[in-house]
């Protein structure tokens, strides 16, 4: 199938996992979700990533985000790998790893890229909102570990901009000034939405303090 695009509905599926069978949309419920794939179990970079993800449990919970990983290896392999992850990364993996042995989910999410490998999944990550829409996709090469600080930053930006009429500028971090969207021009609406005021550097570039702070 064609690659998933931003705004597409994340495909639903039922598949076995390290924590038992999962029906994806039902499992997500009203939460935001992160689905990320790995080429295979017992791979070094992914071992560090899954361990780091487990350590971020409180950060994800604070943002109402559920995380779920995927590999094409079977459940028993996942369980042995989780033991290694817990031991080497000094943590406890507390989220499911999908056992996509029949590559059903990999096909739905276009995770098999023949130029990279005809059998292993690429290392893609999807952020999915509570309406089950894809809001972010990132595909990393096998040699480069994911930057989870960036993933949390993007989730913060998506959640902020979902509920306020703003966008986040380059290198934005939670607490920094944000940009008022250009489509918002009514002076009374602007005053109501941004009582702290704003700095109009250009008519289309108006900076304001983060509204939910």
Q: Give catalytic residues, as residue numbers.
A: 46
Measured over the CA atoms of residue 128, residue 76, residue 116 and residue 15, the dihedral's sign is negative
Q: Is the dihedral of CA 158, 161, 167, 168 positive or negative?
A: negative
For residue 49, the SS3 value is: helix
Report residue 206: phi and psi, to 5°.
Answer: -120, 115
Cα–Cα distance, 151 to 83 (Å, whole number): 25
Do residues 179 and 169 touch, judged by C-beta distance below 8 A? yes
Show Cβ contacts of residue 159 under 8 Å, excluding neighbours closer than 6 positions: 32, 63
């Amino acid at each position: 199938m064609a690659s998933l695009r931003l705004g597409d509905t994340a495909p639903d599926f039922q598949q076995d996992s390290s924590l038992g069978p999962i029906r994806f949309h039902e499992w997500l419920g009203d939460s935001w979700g992160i689905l990320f794939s790995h080429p295979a179990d017992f791979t070094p970079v992914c071992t560090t990533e899954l361990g780091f993800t487990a350590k971020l449990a409180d950060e994800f919970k604070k943002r109402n985000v559920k995380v779920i990983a995927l590999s094409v290896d079977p459940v028993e392999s996942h369980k042995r790998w989780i033991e290694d992850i817990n031991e080497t990364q000094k943590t406890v993996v507390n989220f499911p790893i999908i056992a996509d042995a029949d590559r059903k989910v990999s096909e739905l999410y276009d995770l098999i890229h023949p130029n990279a490998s005809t059998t292993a999944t690429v290392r893609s990550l999807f952020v999915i909102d509570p309406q089950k829409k894809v809001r972010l996709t990132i595909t990393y090469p096998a040699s480069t570990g994911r930057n989870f600080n960036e993933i949390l930053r993007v989730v913060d930006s998506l959640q902020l901009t979902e509920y306020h009429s703003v966008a986040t500028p380059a290198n934005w971090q939670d607490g920094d000034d944000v940009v008022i969207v250009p489509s918002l021009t009514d002076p009374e609406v602007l005053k109501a939405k941004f009582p702290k005021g704003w700095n109009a550097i250009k008519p289309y570039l108006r900076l304001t303090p983060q509204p939910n702070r």
